[in-house]
């Protein structure tokens, strides 16, 4: 939730709280007045009806806000729209009808000598449904329009990010075909017996091809990302043969999950940029998966000052922005005394399509 949305939400919350307090004060004063008039044997029926309506409004307002908050904690509109819609509809209808019936019976028994009969209860529930269904329809309709508008804005944001990425590529003035042609020429110049150099060049070509092929994709399977990371690790091990240790332990059951391409590579690059590497004190990076469907990348903290020419403005913030735009998920970043941890949520492809549709 950004700052502007948070401010608007808090302002709306305060307005609702003030209105509820005013309704509560009026209801309490009216109840004292009716109790006094009841002892004297005279009280207008319309005042009883007014008090019932005020109590009902306060009860429905407060109860439905609590229901909304409880469901939102487990099923947000962004992550599970359909499930959230039906849960909200079911519990709102159940609570509303229960509240109407309970308060009506309470007031009927307290202020009249006749308890409510079956016909009155049936009519009460019919009128309650006729009132609450249009209100819910308007509420969900406005919510759907707001989410639809938000989805359009976010899609435009993603397109803008892609255009900016393409502009950066154009500014480099380096054609992919030009680069691959030169890599092929370089490969032919390397001695055939120099297998290590040929292997390094092949891995570098695989890394660059992966970046070109997936730079416009929103998501990619974890299995494909891990294949890329293996080639990327190979290049790093040649660059830092004795000062970098990378350990990857991810069970195959997670391979079908999705994540934004190059997310893991950017975390590794961030670790290399901000930490010292030496043979006497190698940088250790561990990549694993958790039962909460997250990829955890931890590195030892050996902090160094980053020169200005190495600062690109991308990195972890870029990953955070892509996760939020694509799947409304946030990455986890924590820093301890000797460990820096980044948690990348794994994404189900179906849930992502559901988010984009709504």
Task: Specify whether 240 is located in the same domain as 156.
Answer: no
In a domain, 306, yes or no: yes
Tell whether the model's pLDDT for residue 211 goes beyond 50.
yes
| Runs of H (alpha helix) within the chain | 3-39, 45-74, 81-111, 118-171, 176-189, 195-214, 222-239, 263-274, 316-327, 349-357
In a domain, 66, yes or no: yes
**DSSP string for 19-48:** HHHHHHHHHHHHHHHHHHHHHTT---HHHH
Q: How many domains does the chain have?
A: 2
Task: Specify whether 255 is located in the same domain as 337.
Answer: yes
In a domain, 96, yes or no: yes
CB of 179 closer than 8 Å to CB of 212: no
Task: Specify whether 11 is located in the same domain as 143.
Answer: yes
pLDDT (0 to 100) of residue 286: 95
Task: Specify whether 132 is located in the same domain as 229.
Answer: no
In a domain, 199, yes or no: no
Distance CA 6, CA 201 (A): 50
Task: Specify whether 72 is located in the same domain as 149.
Answer: yes
Name the residue range of residue 278's domain: 217-357
Residue that wins the pLDDT comparison between 147 and 335: 335
Angle of the 81-111 helix axis to the 45-74 helix axis, nearest 10 = 150
Residue that wins the pLDDT comparison between 285 and 39: 285
Task: Specify whether 153 is located in the same domain as 236.
Answer: no
In a domain, 225, yes or no: yes
Tell whether the model's pLDDT for residue 83 goes beyond 90.
no
Domain boundary among 119, 139, 160: 160
Domain boundary among 160, 176, 196: 160
Which of 95, 182, 86, 191 is closest to 140 using CA atoms? 86
pLDDT (0 to 100) of residue 331: 92
Task: Specify whether 24 is located in the same domain as 155.
Answer: yes
Tell whether the model's pLDDT for residue 79 goes beyond 70.
no
As a whole number, mean pLDDT of residues 168-193 equals: 59
Task: Specify whether 122 is located in the same domain as 237.
Answer: no
The domain that holds 289 is classified in CATH as 3.30.565.10
Tell whether the model's pLDDT for residue 297 goes beyond 90.
yes
Domain boundary among 160, 182, 206: 160
In a domain, 165, yes or no: no
Task: Specify whether 151 is located in the same domain as 75.
Answer: yes
Q: What is the DSSP secondary structure assignment for residue 247, as one 8-state letter?
A: E
In a domain, 211, yes or no: no
Q: Strand 283-289's sheet: what is its strand order? A: 244-249, 283-289, 294-300, 339-345, 332-335
CB of 257 closer than 8 Å to CB of 292: no
pLDDT (0 to 100) of residue 173: 44
What are residue 2's phi and psi, to 5 degrees?
-80, 175
In a domain, 210, yes or no: no
Q: How confident is the model at residue 92 (pLDDT cuts 50, 70, 90)?
A: confident
Task: Specify whether 15 is located in the same domain as 148.
Answer: yes
Which of 327, 321, 347, 348 is closest to 151 using CA atoms? 327
Tell whether the model's pLDDT for residue 357 goes beyond 50.
no
Return the percentage of the chain with pLDDT > 90, whole number.
14
Task: Specify whether 343 is located in the same domain as 226.
Answer: yes
Task: Specify whether 141 is located in the same domain as 251.
Answer: no
């Amino acid at each position: 939730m950004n700052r502007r949305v948070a401010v608007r939400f808090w302002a709306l919350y305060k307005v609702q709280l003030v209105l509820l307090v005013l309704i509560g004060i009026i209801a309490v004063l009216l109840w004292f007045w009716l109790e006094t008039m009841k002892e004297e044997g005279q009280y207008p029926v319309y005042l009883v009806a007014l008090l019932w309506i005020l109590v009902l409004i306060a009860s429905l307002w407060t109860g439905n806000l609590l229901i909304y908050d409880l469901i939102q904690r487990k099923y947000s509109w962004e992550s599970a729209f359909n499930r959230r819609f039906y849960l909200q509809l079911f519990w709102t209808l159940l609570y509303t009808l229960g509240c109407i019936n309970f308060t009506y019976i309470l007031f009927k028994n307290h202020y009249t000598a006749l308890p409510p009969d079956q016909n009155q209860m049936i009519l009460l529930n019919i009128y309650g449904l006729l009132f609450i269904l249009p209100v819910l329809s308007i509420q969900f309709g406005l919510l759907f329009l707001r989410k639809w508008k938000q989805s359009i804005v976010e899609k435009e944001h993603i397109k803008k990010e892609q255009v900016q990425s393409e502009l950066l590529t154009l500014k480099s003035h380096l054609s992919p075909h030009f680069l691959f042609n030169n890599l092929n020429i370089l490969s032919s110049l390397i001695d055939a017996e120099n297998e290590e150099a040929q292997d390094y060049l092949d891995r570098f070509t695989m890394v660059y091809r992966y970046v070109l092929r997936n730079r416009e994709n929103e998501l990619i399977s974890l299995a494909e990302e891990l294949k890329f990371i293996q080639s990327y690790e190979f290049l790093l091990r040649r660059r830092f043969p004795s000062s970098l240790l990378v350990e990857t332990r991810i069970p195959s059951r997670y391979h079908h999950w999705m994540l934004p391409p190059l997310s893991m590579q950017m975390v590794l690059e961030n670790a290399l940029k901000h930490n010292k590497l030496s043979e006497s004190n190698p940088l250790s990076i561990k990549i694993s998966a958790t039962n909460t469907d997250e990829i955890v990348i931890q590195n030892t903290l050996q902090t160094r000052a980053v020169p200005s020419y190495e600062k690109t403005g991308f990195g972890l913030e870029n990953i955070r922005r892509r996760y939020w735009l694509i799947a409304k998920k946030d990455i986890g970043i924590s820093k301890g005394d000797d460990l820096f941890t980044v948690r990348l949520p794994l994404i189900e492809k179906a849930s992502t399509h559901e988010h984009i549709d709504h």
